Structure 1
Amino acid sequence: MQEHTGAFSNATGRALEQGGAGQPRYRRYQRELITPYCGRSVLEVGAGLGEFAAGLTGLDRLVVTDADPDAVALMAQRFAGRPEVEAQQFALGNKFSLAEPVETVIAINVLEHLEDDAAALAGLAELVVPGGTIVLWVPGYQQLYGEFDRRVGHFRRYTPATVSDAVRRAGLQVEVAKPVNLLGGIAWWAAVRRGGSTAPNPKLVAIYDRFVVPVTRAVERRIPVPFGQTVLCVARTPAAR
């Protein structure tokens, strides 16, 4: 795959923020948590190069979007052999329309980049069928906010309470709001808050993916965790407009 350019590459650290092909276990972990809340038609906003979307199979329709036209072009090439997938340019916060609404919108590490998060969520709700879902994967806990967050343009990190507040202000119902990735949160605190790192170390990320993610998945399948690197939130649109 060719080197990406434009806004995608200019957003410092975005590739590391999203994760990628070098983090296969983390991607499986994400999908394991997100896909139970997805319908048969899905829109992913801020999809980057389609690393998460590549593992979404068996859908009737999958729309992948990004603000960067270069990223969109690369995704169009990547998914050229999958007729159910379409790639479009879309910057969350701007007007966007679909020929047909989807059952689910997924936004991974996107909402924290928007100053008015409730307005952005209300806009996304217009793209979802009545009673559909918006699945949010957002950075967790302001105690973990550091130089990396500032560099990539995060307005905030969330708790279950604060992301739930944004969802309700958008006129949506909170179905799930919980912390995930406890061990990742501890590692992030040590590296970024205490260690002063301005970006994840690729070697440490690879070690984390290989050894820590399997333990995280095993632990969180059995017990709820009180804190995490990420907050998972599922919002449901009103059953009737």
Structure 2
Amino acid sequence: MTQITGDQRVQSEVLEGLATAVNHRRWFVNLAIPHLGDNPIEIGSGLGDYALEWAKHFERFTATEADPDRLVQLKERMESVPNVEVRQMLLPHSERGDYSAAVSYNVLEHIEDHVGALRSMRDLVRPGGNIVLIVPAFPFAMSPVDIATGHVRRYTKKTMRAALEEAGLTVEKLHYANALGLIGYYMATSVFKLTPKEGPMVKVYDTLVLPTTKAAESLVRPPFGQSVFAVARVP
């Protein structure tokens, strides 16, 4: 079994900071919705920010977390959301399921055996369902923040495709997202050695930069981005 590793304090700061980036989160939420079917499971729900957004669109939604402390917080937060089931899940595992899709955002980069983790996600999903992923892009952007939060890799479209195909999945969509975000992240974390957390930097990015980036990328797929977005079908 593999748990996400890294500095819990830094992870918490980053998660709390990202929670305030509402426009960013809703953009990425909407990328996944057309591919999630009727009964999706999220792998690595963290504090539940994405789960709360996705749950509005489905009669049933399952949120999972590996870390015991975050799992407690996740269960408390979802107590008032009756269509969300919360459970612990670590990857890789040998469980099989009948979910319509598995969605996992910014989790795979923490797991050494990422192909094994993808196979575990595949086995949770019925044939014809999807695995929907967001992962951080480009190894050159690996920063002290990545290392402190337990990242073991960053991806390109090529390496993401290779991992998905090795796991026995059929790639349906694969593209970069948030081009300006990559530039901002690299400058903030690698050049100025800052940690993305709640504050003016995140608010300015989310309210001013993000809407422009989203609008541009709805017209033209960028050749680079802060993240790789992938949809892969279970045969």
Same structural fold, with TM-score higher than 0.5 when normalized by the shorter chain? yes
Relative to its length, the structure with more helix (as a share) is: 2
Give 1:225's match in structure 2, choosing from 209, 222, 226. 222
Compared CA separation, residues 107 and 88, structure 1 to 2 (3 A): same
Cα displacement string for residues 187-226 of structure 1 (whole angstroms, at most 9, x for unaligned residues): 01211222233x2153211211111111111111111101
Separation in structure 2 between the aligned mates of residue 105 and residue 16 of structure 1, nearest angstrom: 26
1:106 match:
103
Equivalent in 19, 26, 35 of residue 28 of structure 1: 26
CA contact 2:45–2:64 (8 Å) conserved in 1: yes
State the identity %. Answer: 35
Instruction: State yes or no: 1:122 paired with 2:115.
Output: no
SS of the residue 1:188 aligns to: helix
8 Å Cα contact 1:90-1:96 kept in structure 2: no
- Per the TM alignment, residue 146 of structure 1 is displaced from its structure 2 partner at its CA by 1.4
Q: Please list, as runs of the form range in 1=range in 2, the aligned pairs for 1:165-180 lying within 5 A after superposition.
A: 165-180=162-177
- In structure 1, the residue matched to 2:198 is 202
What one-letter code is carried by the residue in structure 1 that aligns with 2:132? V
How far, CA to CA, are the matches of 2:114 and 2:212 in structure 1?
A: 32
Give me the whole-angstrom Cα distance separating, in 2, the residues matched to 1:85 and 1:97: 19
Across the aligned residues of Structure 1 and Structure 2, the Cα RMSD in angstroms comes to: 1.9
Look up the SS of the partner of 1:214 in the other structure.
Answer: helix
| Residue in 2 that maps onto 1:42 | 40
Letter in 1 for 2:225: G
Counterpart code for 1:162: T
State the secondary structure of the residue aligned to 2:29: helix
> Paired residue for 1:3?
none
**C-alpha distance in 2 between matches for 1:104 and 1:116:** 21
Scaled by the length of structure 1, what TM-score is found?
0.88
Amino acid at match of 1:27: R
C-alpha displacement of 1:78: 2.2
Amino acid at match of 1:84: N
In the superposition, the TM-score normalised over structure 2's length comes to 0.90
Question: CA separation of 1:163/1:223 partners in 2, compared to 1, >3 Å: closer, same or farther?
Answer: same
Amino acid at match of 1:220: E
Output the amino acid matched with 1:169: E
Alpha-carbon shift at residue 12 of structure 1 (Å):
3.9
1:69 matched to which residue of 2? 68
Name the structure 2 match of 1:55.
Answer: 53
CA distance in 1, matches of 2:147, 2:186: 15
Distance in structure 2 (CA, Å) of the matches to 1:194 and 1:185: 13
Contact persistence 1:8–1:68 (CA under 8 A): no
- Does 1 or 2 have the higher relative contact order (CA < 8 Å, sep 6+)? 2
